[in-house]
Homo-oligomer: A and B are copies of this chain.
Amino acid sequence: MFFGALEAGGTKMVLAIGNENGEIIDQKSIPTRAPAETMNEIITYFRGKEIAALGIGSFGPIDLDRASKTYGYITSTPKLDWRNYDITGTLRNALSIPVGFDTDVNASALGEATWGGLKDVPSGIYITIGTGIGVGVYMNGELLHGMLHPEAGHILLSRHPEDHFGGVCPYHSNCFEGLASGPSIEKRWNKKAYDLKDQPEVWELEAYYIAQGLVNFILTLSPHRIILGGGVMHQEQLFPWIRSQVANLLNGYVQTAQLEDMDTYIVPASLDGNQGIMGCIQLAKLEFNRQH
């Protein structure tokens, strides 16, 4: 059985076909333009591919409340022509198949939970640190939604005493994304992030903020494992710093076997960059099972 997968991003859309084991058979990427044009190309791609269902991992905010009239919509996004756009309904109507829907980062968490680094643990979180910071939470066998969906990239952090940079979030002066996303690194140091590789002070400060974020997630969600993905995490020297700062900040308050083995507790993404699109396959499969 085949499933369609759509990773809907603000700049590009990744389209793929996969089987129930998460194996990707075909994949392509197209630029995100206005909805009508973009969706036409997406519909053309999936039509005739004999997929049983489609899964969408989308940029947000989105409406995930199945009881809501705007379930399946992209809602108050700053991308104006996508605002209040019924992405799920449009594809469901055009393709006449079940369509599963969640946030992009929840899709990544689901991909890791189904086929990757969270497969062998009962709960876990996936954090992307790239253009933005997003957190997908997998607990008790499902993705955590709540009232909206977590927006944990915007939790407020305590500023480093020597960091006077204003942050890049237009909403919060000291949120995680504002202080530690890729664009915040580039604005603070006035260079492209990958050109800063040899400046340890950059990554030490970055690890300081990431560790603080992780400590708050550990204390609030108690995940069995944390996966860190996204462009910024290509700087692999961050991992040991983050691990030791997390241990320092927790300061022995939480004692578990998992935290004693930090190298397997805080880990990089495991699916060669395919955690998101594979998660969309699983979203498709779950929606198919829900309706059959």
A interface list, Cβ under 8 A from B: 61, 75-76, 122-123, 135, 137, 139-140, 142, 144-159, 171-172, 174, 212, 215-217, 219-224, 249-256, 258
Given A249-B172, A251-B171, also A146-B222 (CB < 8 A): yes
Complex: chain B residue closest to A64, CB-CB: B222
Majority-rule SS of A interface residues: loop
**CB contact between A219 and one of B145, B152, B252, B256 (< 8 Å): that residue:** B152
Q: Which 4 A-B pairs have the closest CB atoms?
A: A146-B222, A158-B158, A171-B253, A152-B220
Q: Is the CB of B174 within 8 A of A222?
A: no
CB-CB under 8 A from A258, the residues of chain B are 147
Residues of B within 8 A of A220 (CB): 135, 137, 150, 152, 155, 216-217, 220-221
Q: Given known contacts A139-B146, A146-B221, A146-B224, is B255 in contact with A155 (CB within 8 Å)?
A: no
Q: Can you add 9 more A-B contacts, CB < 8 Å, to A151-B254, A153-B219, A172-B251?
A: A61-B254, A122-B146, A135-B220, A137-B220, A148-B222, A152-B220, A155-B219, A158-B158, A172-B253
Q: List 5 A-B contacts (CB under 8 A).
A: A135-B220, A139-B144, A140-B144, A148-B222, A152-B219
